[in-house]
Amino acid sequence: MKKVLGSSAFRELLRVMIAIIVALTLGFIITVLVSDDPIGAYKAFLFGPLSKINRFGDWIEESITLIFLGLAVALVFKAELFSLGQEGQMVLGALVAGAIALYVPVPVYIRVPLAILGAMLIGFLWGLIPGYLKAYLNANEIVSTLMLNFVALKIYEWLLTYNIKPEDAGYTASETFSAEGTMPTFFPPIPFLGELRTLFMNQTNISIALYLVIIATFVVYYLMYRTPFGYELRMVGANIKFARYGGVNTKRTIVLAMAVSGIFAGLAGAHLASGIHRKLILNITFGLGFEGIVVSILARNNPLLIPFTGLAYGYLRAGANVMERSSDMSREMVLVIQAIIILLVTAERIMPIIQERIRVRRAQQSGVPPAEADAPRIEGGD
Amino acid sequence: MPFEVVLQGILSPLFIASILRISTPIILPALGGLISDLAGVINIALEGIMLVAAFTGVVVSAYTQNVWIGVLAGIVIGMLYSLILALFHLYLATDIILAGIALNIMAQGGTIFLLFILTGDKGNSSTLASGAVPTITYPFLSSGSWLGQVFNGHNIFTYLAFLFTWLVSVFLYKTPLGAHLRAVGENPVAAETVGINVKRTQTIAIALSGFFASLGGLSLSMAYLTLFQNAMTAGRGFIALAAVFLGGRTPWGTTLAAIIFGFADGLANQLGSLAIPPQWVQMIPYVATVIALVAYSIRRQAKQRERLRRFQEGEVKGAEAGSD
């Protein structure tokens, strides 16, 4: 049992590694073709995030958002629900967290937790809608969540433009949050490390969201594998009919899965608003829409792996930004690399086909007629 | 008082003409979305295919100085791009949603990446002298008349949008391939049993959806505007997908739904003079789509129940009801 688990996990890891290596190699080929200084550009891409403390900060901040989103996606994907609604939940989470940061006049140790809880709540509520529609009315969750994303973005845009933006502001953004509404730095005030703390505070926006994301990871793991809800969620994902016959309240599970997933997307929004930007800006979720899906897929929807894939993915994005600033390459190259990784990791049949090729070749070399080796084609073809 | 201004604005022939212009890049990809959805292969990559085709059309027309070669190149490259989806989903067993998302990401990044290489600018292709498809003006409709203002000056993609709506409905309901396509979407196992090649049919459906998404993209970059812009599709590929559901998965319904989206967009622009936030109006089609989706699902459930009831009454043998 353990051996099987180990070997299949190993195969998964191998597959992800191969995908990343192939994609990075293709990226390098593109760089060689395009750049005047391909080595320098690729160096900046691969090592940039570690070269300066502010770049390191960008990497960690970006990864925190990605990990929250990945956790949100894992919860729904584990139940085989294709909810694409994280962007909507995230933008509303940012809105609520931002509104509390701006307008609720209580001290920081109440205001920040309140903002975080508010963002979690709105994410939960916004997830209830497509969950209910899916469970009780069998409405396609892909389309409903996509539509609700647009609705959420419009609500955000409207409130920001007409209510939150100061009258005299030149561009559409809120005022910068006061320190009372901002997530404090992750660095605890240790007396003899004061200088390092100031350095991190000045150069980066890494906040207590770092601890939140670690807690969130274990919470999702616990929910998924140690609670009845998680068991039912995985049952629904594995075989919904079987789950129903087995006495699982599948409708309730679907609604809850979508809503609980929203909590974590809401947290990502709170992190964006009061951790990173420290104000509400237009297009605050720009470019993050479906990134949680990628993070979760690379981790095979396993919550304990999501921090690692989130960090890896955030590293690619942060590296691309450094590359753009320090070379003639544009950071959009990394989007192509990302897409190739997704395609290679999710193509279920690539590994079997490669293995089949190897088997046929070996059979030919050892003199067995290829027809025989050819016989056991890929199992389970539909 | 300002409300009258808006009302006048909506009823004006110029507004009607603008709705047709705005709707064109939604109608065309929506037809593609319809075909792939009916074949059971939901195409999330419409957005990406549109971008690729829009970009290719602009670049090729700029370098060849021939609009039609540009259009043709856009269609060919757009369709090839859509075939990547078919390859990965049908032959390498990638989940179609994830493959679609990957293609969207690649199109978004790839077009900007290449644009930067070609022009040194990431925003738009204004330095490239790309072409525009011709517009049609009727000599017998004077530009001052109501009819003239509504019908004159539309680009050929607008005409193609309506022509193809009709052709797609003929294709789907009057040809064997159309029937096969719908059968595959309804129940692939049953279709396989009666000898329909499911994979081939779905490949054709994805290629056709690529064709229409390409036309939609080209209508954006070679007619609606005459240049390529960073992420110029602005979610139209997803709106097109929504139009399919809002339109009850029929060709004319889909086109009508796409026009409703266009209308809301145009109306939101008109409301600039009023105190009503444009976002409210822009929100309406999305909410309407969710409602339409629910209505569609309820109707389908009722139908299934009815079919099951008749089946149980008519036959003694119990059998598995078709997969849901």
Query: What's the maximum distance between 2 C-alpha atoms anywhere in chain A?
Result: 82
Closest chain A residue to B102 measured between Cα atoms?
Answer: A339
Which of B91, B122, B242 has its CB closest to that of A147? B242
| Residue B284: domain span | 2-132+141-313
Query: What's the maximum distance between 2 C-alpha atoms anywhere in chain B?
Result: 73
DSSP collapsed to 3 states, A196-230: HHHHHHHHCCCECHHHHHHHHHHHHHHHHHHCHHH
Chain B: closest CA distance from residue A376 (Å): 17
Closest chain A residue to B84 measured between Cα atoms?
Answer: A343
**Interface contacts (A, B; CB < 8 Å):** 136
Q: Do B287 and A338 touch (CB under 8 A)?
A: no
B280 has a pLDDT exceeding 90: no
Tell me the Ramachandran region of residue B154: left when phi exceeds 0, alpha when psi lies from -120 to 50, beta otherwise.
Answer: beta
In DSSP terms, A281 is beta-bridged to A173
Per the CB < 8 A criterion, the answer to whether A313 and B88 are in contact is: no
Burial, A230: exposed, middle or buried (Cβ in 10 Å; 0-12, 13-18, 19+)? buried
Band (pLDDT 50/70/90 cuts) for residue B322 is very low
Per the CB < 8 A criterion, the answer to whether B218 and B75 are in contact is: yes
Q: What's the sign of the alpha-carbon dihedral A119, A125, A129, A134?
A: positive
In DSSP terms, B155 is beta-bridged to B135
Count: domains in chain B: 1
Q: What is the pLDDT of residue A376?
A: 44
Band (pLDDT 50/70/90 cuts) for residue B213 is very high
Encode chain A (382 residues) as per-residue pLDDT tens digits.
455 555 666 777 777 788 888 888 888 888 888 888 888 888 888 888 888 888 888 899 899 999 999 999 999 998 888 888 999 999 999 999 999 988 888 887 888 889 999 999 999 999 999 999 988 888 888 888 988 998 999 999 899 888 888 877 777 788 888 777 788 777 777 777 777 777 777 777 788 888 999 999 999 999 999 988 888 889 888 888 888 888 888 888 899 999 999 999 999 999 999 888 888 888 888 778 788 888 898 888 889 989 998 998 899 888 888 888 888 788 888 888 888 988 888 887 776 777 777 778 877 777 655 444 444 444 443 3
In chain B, which residues have their Cβ closer than 8 Å to the Cβ of A77?
none
Chain A: closest CA distance from residue B152 (Å): 33
* Domain harbouring B164, CATH code: 1.10.3470
B88 touches chain A (CB under 8 A): yes
Q: Do A142 and B44 touch (CB under 8 A)?
A: yes
Band (pLDDT 50/70/90 cuts) for residue B321 is very low
The chain-wide mean pLDDT, for chain B, equals 86
Chain A: closest CA distance from residue B44 (Å): 9
Prediction ipTM score:
0.83
Band (pLDDT 50/70/90 cuts) for residue B215 is very high
B320 is a domain residue:
no
Q: What is the pLDDT of residue B278?
A: 80
Per the CB < 8 A criterion, the answer to whether B167 and B178 are in contact is: no
Q: Do A290 and B105 touch (CB under 8 A)?
A: yes
Q: Do A330 and B104 touch (CB under 8 A)?
A: no
Chain B: closest CA distance from residue A154 (Å): 5
Per the CB < 8 A criterion, the answer to whether A78 and A302 are in contact is: no
B324 is a domain residue:
no
B174 is a domain residue:
yes
Per the CB < 8 A criterion, the answer to whether B108 and B48 are in contact is: yes
Q: Tokens standing for B98?
A: 């994830």
Instruction: List chain A domain ranges.
Output: 57-319, 352-382
In DSSP terms, A185 is beta-bridged to A207
Best probe of the A interface among B34, B105, B122, by most A CBs < 10 A, is: B105
- The whole-angstrom distance between residue A142's C-alpha and the CA centroid of its chain comes to 17
What's the predicted TM-score (pTM) here?
Answer: 0.83
Q: Do B290 and A139 touch (CB under 8 A)?
A: yes
What is the per-residue DSSP string for B119-170? HS-SSB-TTS------EE--TTS-TTSHHHHHHTTEEHHHHHHHHHHHHHHH
Best probe of the A interface among B274, B290, B303, B324, by most A CBs < 10 A, is: B290
Q: Which residues of A79-90 are buried (b: 16+ CB within 10 A; e: fewer)?
A: bebbbbbbbbbb
Per the CB < 8 A criterion, the answer to whether B279 and A162 are in contact is: no
Which of A290, A336, A349 has its CB closest to that of B109? A336
- Higher per-residue confidence, A202 vs B258: B258
Chain A: closest CA distance from residue B155 (Å): 29
Q: What is the pLDDT of residue A96?
A: 94
